[in-house]
Chain A
Amino acid sequence: MAWQEKPLGFFTDTSICIGCKACEVACKEWNQLKGDPATFTADSYDNTGQLDAQNWRHVQFIEQIPDNKGTIATPTPIAGGQAWLMMSDVCKHCKEASCLEVCPTNAIVRTEFDTVFIQPDVCNGCRNCISACPYGVIGFNEQAGVAQKCTLCYDRLQGGLQPACAKACPTESIKFGYIDDLHAVADDRLAALQKAGYQKAQLYGRDTKVYGGLNAFFLLMDKPEVYKLPNEANATLPSRNNLPGYVGGVATAVLGLIAGLVAFRSGRMSGTDHTTTGRS
């Protein structure tokens, strides 16, 4: 069954992530990534370190164990997940994607599924995207001479499959699907957690406040900063901070991009609202 040309993405529910790293391994197996040289970091159970050219999924382990004399009570039913945070990080496939904006060769495109994709054969290795990405997602493959990151398994999507990480996730912490559907699932889950007393539980990237909205959005059990994610106050493109002086330039760039992409898209793109009004 082929996917419809509608926005697709991830909803990563960190409250049920068990930190098994199956997503990391499945991603590497499918995308034929070797991983960085093995290093013991002594950072909880995280020896992957970061997202980069070789790591397109990265499970963060954040220990905030309170002092205790025997028990670490989690406040209410439904979920624990507050004392030892685990979060499978990934490219956010931003609606307002910095990487895509700075790419001089149009190597970075928005696909018919509203995902952000680096075309390796068009990438000239300038690394602008690497410094532009606010999430530090993109890395440079020295051997291939190109920038690399999560493709949201664009190749698997062509075959009607789901991305390797979501397929491998045993607890469905990583959910894959049409963004509209995922939004509904996420809203329900957040409501359940809030009802159960998890006051810090929050959605990240569900709405437009973070880079116009994220196609890979999260349910977090604490503030975004705890997960090294920019909060709403900081998660905007430079253009938004400096609208009058920047908007013209952006508009020109956008027009140029759109023109450059017409051929690429015409065969496959749905022409839905996002893809035409987006900055891509």
Chain B
Amino acid sequence: MVSLAATFGRGAMTNHWRDIKHADVILINGANPAEAHPVGFQWFVKAKLDPTKGPGAGGGAKIIHADPRYTRTSAMSDMYLRIRTGTDVAYFGGLINYVLQNTLYHEDYVKNYTNASFIVKEGFDFKDGLFSGYNPATRSYDLSTWAYELTAPPAQAGGQVEGPATTQTGFAKRDMTLQDPRSVFQLLKKHYSRYTPDMVASITGIPADQFLQVAKIVGEMGRPDKVMTIVYAVGLTHHTTGGQLIRSGAVLQLLLGNIGRPGGGMNAERGHANIQGNTDHAISWEILPGYLRIPAPGQKNLDDYVRQSAPVKSDPNSWNFFGLNYRNFMVSLLKGWYGAAATKDNEYAFNFIPKPATNSSWMSIYDQALKGKMEGLILNGMTATSIGPDVNQVLQALSNLKWLVIMDPLPTTSSEFWHGPDMDPSKIQTEVFMLPTTHWIEKDGSFVNSGRWMQWKEQVIPPEGQAQHDHWIFADLFDRVKSLYKQQGGKFPDAINAMTTDWYKDPKKPELDEIAKEINGKDLATGKQMSSFANLKADGTTTAGDWIYTGSYTEDGNLSKRRNGIQDPAKNDPTGMGFYPMWAWSWPLNRRVMYNRASADSDGKPWDPKRPGIQWNGTTWTGDVPDYPATMNPKDPASWNPFIMNGEGVGRLFSSAMLDGPIPEHYEPVEAPIANPLHPSQSEDPVVFLYDQAAGRPNRFGKVDKYPYVATSYRLTEHEHYVTQHVPLLVGLQPQAFVEIPEELANEKGIKNGDRVRVFSERGKIEVAALVTKRLGPMTLAGNKTVYHIGIPIHWGFIGVSAEQNPERSKYWLANALTPFVGDVGARTPEFKAFLVNIEKI
């Protein structure tokens, strides 16, 4: 999500599932939708079966799958490319190079809708694998060398500069001919000129001739009458270069003019039914709801906060909607949380919000526990022991705690972590509390899918036994903490005591419907629900629990309950484009395709009349809900640029919002089988945070001489992470842990199909069955090095139906015993998908 926000302005799937049927080409990288999203895959099949889609004369959309393994998705694809895990920047970079060298990009789009014409300040450089501004001591970049060259500051009074109290020193210089050597376009061209087909082959293992076949098809997708979608999932995210892997695809899509268009986009497929909702509501430590940044130390008031957080307008035609409204959204959030206690005089309780001084992402939490700096931990709806990485280290972290609370409907590998591999319960002092919670079928509430649809569901069955709703447990806990503060005081009671519970009839048992209403927010003057975040104010008269959901629960009720679908397509899908605006509700403001202003040309005509997103009819924009002012005439020279969330108003080919480089560059995983062919001396990402090293713990990374095989971990259709170990019918479909081994490697090692094997890394081992297959195979890297992948499905552990049948062996079924405790610099997402192992027959 980090990289999409840094490129387009919002961190989510740009389009939606149904929209995939409009694509001519579907590029799938780091994803296995036929297995991980089988229901969503119907839209891929529909595109395939539609003779009007496809490159050239049509005949059906082409699916091109690049993956280390030949999966059930590959089986449905028109082309399969065996790519080394974690090298997709090289693949996309090669395609970018092909598109630029052969002038296949969408010229009007690139000039007007991207920052290709923006001039980067003198001093920006990229040499020997490092961008300018690198500090080896802190392993970080000074991002100020990646800025635009600015024009003189604009006139102060009146004019077009509106917005928050952000520093505005001038607009970015542009060269609309794209010839300036410091224009983003030329920098990009130079950067990717190194990504020749041979270089792509050397890094990825995809033979150059096969790569060129794909390049030819992809190159055609820069035509206005063609459109391609890129679909990805955690196969791109779960790398130390995760953000850049995704951004390289996003850059390709901007060059081809495929963002904002039906059938196009950069489409993140989320791994849980509600993970998009989780992210939107700030499951991640560095954000508040609606992707507002968490306040940072030193920000004394709202002015400081907004100045350092809000996007800055850098082009005269940029609306800078987000920057303009940042303060409105933040104050409305604070007003929603603190009610009457949030006043103008106390900066609307801004100082009640914590300002974390250190990274608090997933691995950082366990890093703190390993250091003995954590007393307790509440695990809600996830099992740390299984989700890793490096679970032996996580198990050690859990053992260091004084107490551990598990909130889950069923036993997990964390609620019984002392049964884990090589654990000695007599030496563990952690007190564990198991709070049984209701399963999602036992409560109502909403799921937000990858395509940003908030869909309400009803309770199916009443809760069993003593199970309580998660939100009731938290409400009760909050109430008790509040009482303690009231009785005993404390260092800073206001932040807790002043929080309002006015939204709930029973503050100890809030209804999810009440919470949905609270999230939408209301106008405090009228008492009415807000209908749009555009009306939120910074004067304390409006609330919004999460501004991107404002509009989901209006005076018309909870719109996520709407179900006007395919029972009457003529009525419910008036455009025929599959937007179904009256089905549930989609953020932002029920838009189905984000950035849809870019689906039409400068005059407001769709790039492809057969696949319109929105279009200008002379007085208003029609079609999807416009991601743009509804009545802004595109022919007006002062009309806004299309990407309203970015300060530039355009999509970013070059983005200074990434911590590890403004242009995606291929770096090797932390554990890699070869040195980076582009710059062997700077093989891996130079700013990756090394937890063990920073904490003074021994290094837990392995080298290729001891661990010669590349491993990658993944899910199978038959299971949903770890919880389905409790579902006998699904256990029957995939009953026990196994690894997938290429036939050639199995022959070398004398391993037969079904044999038990031990797979081990520097961190741990698993002992499982071997599935020998030709779906995996050798690849040639860096000219002449043969490398094998080993595939490791993740679903098993020492809890559940399979484990009960084999309690001793099941201890060594935790796939994440193998994975490294290291992640992406921005998101800190662990590198689950690329690491080194060895294998032996047991």
Stretch among B510-518, B670-678, B732-740 lining the A interface = B732-740
Residue A25 lies at the interface, judged by CB distance under 8 Å to chain B: yes
**Residues of A with C-beta under 8 A to B35:** 18, 20
A71 and B62 contact, CB distance less than 8 A: no
A24 to B718, CA, bound (A): 11
**Residues of A with C-beta under 8 A to B728:** 34-35, 38
A74 to B34, CA, bound (A): 17
Among A24, A42, A76, A77, residue most surrounded by chain B Cβ atoms (within 10 Å): A77
Assuming the contacts A20-B38, A25-B730, A72-B74, asked whether A77 and B54 have C-beta atoms less than 8 A apart, the reply is yes
Assuming the contacts A44-B773, A65-B775, A196-B59, asked whether A19 and B72 have C-beta atoms less than 8 A apart, the reply is yes
Tell me which residues from 65 to 83 in chain A have a Cβ below 8 Å from any Cβ of chain B. Answer: 65-74, 76-81, 83
A48 and B733 contact, CB distance less than 8 A: yes
Residue B79 lies at the interface, judged by CB distance under 8 Å to chain A: yes
A104 to B294, CA, bound (A): 76
Residue A270 lies at the interface, judged by CB distance under 8 Å to chain B: no
Among B59, B76, B79, B81, residue most surrounded by chain A Cβ atoms (within 10 Å): B76
Residue A47 lies at the interface, judged by CB distance under 8 Å to chain B: yes
Residue-wise, chain B 54-67 has the 8 Å CB interface mask toward A (1 for contact) of 10000110110000
Tell me which residues from 722 to 746 in chain B have a Cβ below 8 Å from any Cβ of chain A. Answer: 728-736, 738
A171 and B41 contact, CB distance less than 8 A: yes
Residue A164 lies at the interface, judged by CB distance under 8 Å to chain B: no
**Residues of A with C-beta under 8 A to B735:** 38-40, 47
**Residues of A with C-beta under 8 A to B206:** 70-71
Tell me which residues from 405 to 422 in chain B have a Cβ below 8 Å from any Cβ of chain A. Answer: none
**Residues of A with C-beta under 8 A to B738:** 40, 42
Assuming the contacts A20-B35, A47-B734, asked whether A28 and B729 have C-beta atoms less than 8 A apart, the reply is yes
A170 and B771 contact, CB distance less than 8 A: no
**Residues of A with C-beta under 8 A to B769:** 40, 42
Tell me which residues from 41 to 63 in chain A have a Cβ below 8 Å from any Cβ of chain B. Answer: 42, 44-45, 47-48, 63
**Residues of A with C-beta under 8 A to B77:** 74, 80
**Residues of B with C-beta under 8 A to A34:** 728
Residue-wise, chain B 71-91 has the 8 Å CB interface mask toward A (1 for contact) of 011111111111000000000
A28 to B732, CA, bound (A): 11
Contact of A84 among B38, B51, B78, B775 (CB under 8 A): B775
B74 and A84 contact, CB distance less than 8 A: yes
A18 to B774, CA, bound (A): 18
**Residues of A with C-beta under 8 A to B733:** 21, 24-25, 47-48
Interface size on B, residues (CB 8 A): 60
Interface size on A, residues (CB 8 A): 46
**Residues of A with C-beta under 8 A to B716:** 45
Assuming the contacts A18-B76, A47-B733, A86-B75, asked whether A71 and B82 have C-beta atoms less than 8 A apart, the reply is yes
Assuming the contacts A19-B717, A39-B735, asked whether A71 and B80 have C-beta atoms less than 8 A apart, the reply is yes
Residue B777 lies at the interface, judged by CB distance under 8 Å to chain A: yes
Residue B145 lies at the interface, judged by CB distance under 8 Å to chain A: no
A84 to B75, CA, bound (A): 6
Residue B70 lies at the interface, judged by CB distance under 8 Å to chain A: yes
Assuming the contacts A45-B734, A79-B76, A81-B76, asked whether A20 and B717 have C-beta atoms less than 8 A apart, the reply is yes
B75 and A83 contact, CB distance less than 8 A: yes
Residue A232 lies at the interface, judged by CB distance under 8 Å to chain B: no
> Interface residues, chain B, CB within 8 Å of chain A?
34-35, 38-39, 41-42, 45, 48-49, 51, 54, 59-60, 62-63, 70, 72-82, 205-207, 210, 716-718, 728-736, 738, 753-754, 769-775, 777-780, 801-802, 805
Q: Which 5 A-B pairs have the closest CB atoms?
A: A42-B754, A38-B735, A65-B774, A20-B38, A18-B34
User: Could you list some 18 contacts between A and B, CB below 8 A?
Assistant: A19-B75, A21-B717, A21-B718, A21-B733, A35-B732, A38-B801, A48-B733, A65-B774, A65-B775, A67-B774, A70-B207, A70-B210, A71-B82, A76-B78, A80-B63, A80-B80, A84-B74, A171-B41
Identify 20 new A-B residue pairs, CB closer than 8 A, beyond the known A24-B733, A71-B79.
A19-B34, A19-B72, A20-B35, A20-B38, A35-B732, A38-B735, A38-B736, A38-B805, A40-B735, A44-B773, A45-B718, A65-B774, A70-B81, A71-B82, A74-B78, A78-B48, A80-B74, A80-B80, A83-B75, A84-B72
